[in-house]
Amino acid sequence: MPSFRDARSIILDNVKPLAEMTVPLADALGRIASRDLFAPWDLPFCDNSAMDGYAVRAADCKTLPATLSVVGFLPAGDEQAQPPLKSGCAVRIMTGAPIPPGCNAVVPIEETETAGDQVLIKRRVQPRQHLRLRGADVPSGARYLAAGTRLRPAEIGMLAAMGQALVPVHRKARVAILSTGDELVELGDSPASGKVINSNALSLAAAVRETGAEPVLIGIARDDRDSHRQKIAEGFDYDALITSAGVSTGDRDLVREILAELGASELFWKVDIKPGGPTAFATWHERPIFALPGNPVSTMVTFELLVKPALLRMMGQRQVIRPFLRGIMAEDAHKQTGKVNFIRVTLKKRHGRYLAFCAGDQHTGVLSTMTRCDALAALPSEASFIAAGSEVDLLLLRDVDLVAEERELG
């Protein structure tokens, strides 16, 4: 039985980035750049002022206060070629305006006093102070964006500054989500006795969307072979297929049997984790198929551990494995040996360290513990008892920094 790390490696070895396309920059947030991009020009484009103040020659300001004649005004956006700045002179300048030739410093307005058409410089002036020199941010020809980078607002701004109106990215993965089980009713129907609302489809769709991929709900396969055949075959039309439930050893667990019948190759079944032990992974004509267990928490945890890195890889992201954060168990924990247990924990921060507390009932059907938790704590396979105070690996499930700070114990 593979460890979850080995299982993840097998999966990552069997997926590859999807085709390239271009998108308008305004729609590129969250997409993954498919190429290295190089600066077509210097950023900034020309030497300019970083402050509102006076453009001066630093050598004119050696004895303080220095008195200079104000010979001009340079607003931002001015395109006129400026005459060279003569010794003993200063030009009033706005932030972003190109500096005149001969100027090698800008004195902020706060460090000056005006007297008629003269300006008094009251503080020491260093050559190059408050200048933004041509190419100092990014020189022309330099790589400013690496292939495989997720585009955040900062990258969007950089791309705009480089004039990149269309951005090369990888295609979004279209991911089919198939639920299985006779007990399932769709969202909108009321849950009668013995019935369960198909919540996995919605939680999986949300999780898929969070990766930047596009979920497509293809419905429910009922617990008979024909229904499984038809629905699984429908799922083969997408870039990836995620199924939930029907993957254990029950009489009506048909997913693996039908996958095999339809020609999919299974690369593993069962992983050394709890929840999520019975997860299977297969490919069909190079398309990945993730057969996840049906208990809602197992479905979400296995998505996080095994499916998410694969979807990110398919969309071209370079860094797909989220590293664990080190924390401390705040309470004793008991478990059976033989599987890595991912337990749902809440976090508090004390003296800069994360303390993990059991978030509640750890049964894999219990959704409320999942909504309450901040992270999964990975309890090692061989351990049967983890004492309070032990170090533990944490996989964050929310941007916990703020939450945990609010709960800071002091």
Site residues (CB under 6 A) for ligand AMP?
A: 179, 181, 183-184, 196, 198-201, 244-246, 248, 250, 293-296, 365
Where residue 280 falls (left for φ over 0; alpha for ψ -120 to 50; beta otherwise) is beta
Dist. CA 277–CA 52, nearest whole Å: 64
CB of 384 to ligand AMP, least distance (A): 26
Question: Which residue blocks in 1-152 are alpha helix, DSSP H?
Answer: 4-13
Nearer to ligand AMP, 27 or 226 (CB): 226
CA-to-CA distance for 75 and 99, rounded, in angstroms? 10
Nearer to ligand AMP, 71 or 366 (CB): 366
| Residue 42 backbone phi and psi in degrees, to 5 | -70, 145
CB closer to Mg ion out of 245 and 347: 245
CB closer to Mg ion out of 180 and 317:
180
Q: What is the 3-state secondary structure (H, E, C) of 142-161?
A: CEEECCCCECCHHHHHHHHH
Angle in degrees, CA 155, 157, 162, rounded to 5:
95
Cβ 371 to ligand AMP shortest distance, Å: 14
Interaction of residue 245 with Mg ion, rule CB under 5 A? yes
CA neighbor of 222 nearest in space, from 241, 195, 240: 195
Q: 79 or 251, CB closer to Mg ion?
A: 251
Give me the least distance between CB of 182 and Mg ion, in Å please. Answer: 7
Q: Quote the least distance from Cβ 274 to ligand AMP, whole Å.
A: 14
Residue ranges of E strands in 162-292: 166-170, 174-180, 184-185, 196-197, 214-221, 240-244, 265-269, 273-274, 280-284, 287-292
**Given the complex with ligand AMP, which of 325 and 367 has the nearer CB atom?**
367
Name the minimum Å distance from CB 33 to ligand AMP. 35
Q: With CB under 5 A as the contact rule, which of the stretches 124-132, 177-185, 306-314, 364-372 interacts with Mg ion? A: 177-185
Q: How far is the CB of 309 from Mg ion (least distance, A)?
A: 26
**Contacting range for Mg ion; rule: CB under 5 A; set: 161-169, 178-186, 338-346, 349-357:** 178-186
Tokens of 111: 């460090």
Return the SS3 of 291: strand
Stretch that binds Mg ion, among 34-42, 139-147, 195-203, 244-252 (CB under 5 A): 244-252
Q: How many residues bind Mg ion (CB under 5 A)?
A: 3
Find the binder of Mg ion among 2, 168, 246, 276 (CB under 5 A).
246
Token code pair at residue 123: 């503080």
Instruction: Say whether residue 181 binds Mg ion (CB under 5 A).
Output: yes
Partner whose footprint covers residue 82, from Mg ion, ligand AMP, none (CB < 5 to 8 Å by kind):
none
Least distance (Å) between residue 77 CB and ligand AMP: 58
Residue with smallest beta-carbon separation from ligand AMP: 294
Q: From CA 87, how far away is CA 65, in angstroms rounded? A: 16
Q: How far is the CB of 189 from Mg ion (least distance, A)?
A: 18
Q: Stretches 93-101, 108-116, 170-178, 245-253: which one binds Mg ion (CB under 5 A)? A: 245-253
Q: Based on CB atoms, which residue is closest to ligand AMP, 248 or 390?
A: 248
Nearer CB in complex with Mg ion: 103/232:
232
Residue appearing with tokens 């290295």 = 36
**Residue bearing tokens 């750049």:** 33
Full DSSP string of 301-357: HHIIIIIHHHHHHHTT-S--PPPPEEEEESS-EE--TTSEEEEEEEEEEETTEEEEE
Give the residue from 285, 284, 268 showing the smallest Cα distance to 276.
Answer: 268
Q: What's the min distance (Å) between Cβ of 243 and Mg ion? A: 11
Q: What does 200 bind: ligand AMP, Mg ion, none (CB cut-off 5 to 8 Å by kind)? A: ligand AMP
**What residues make contact with Mg ion under the rule CB under 5 A?**
181, 245-246
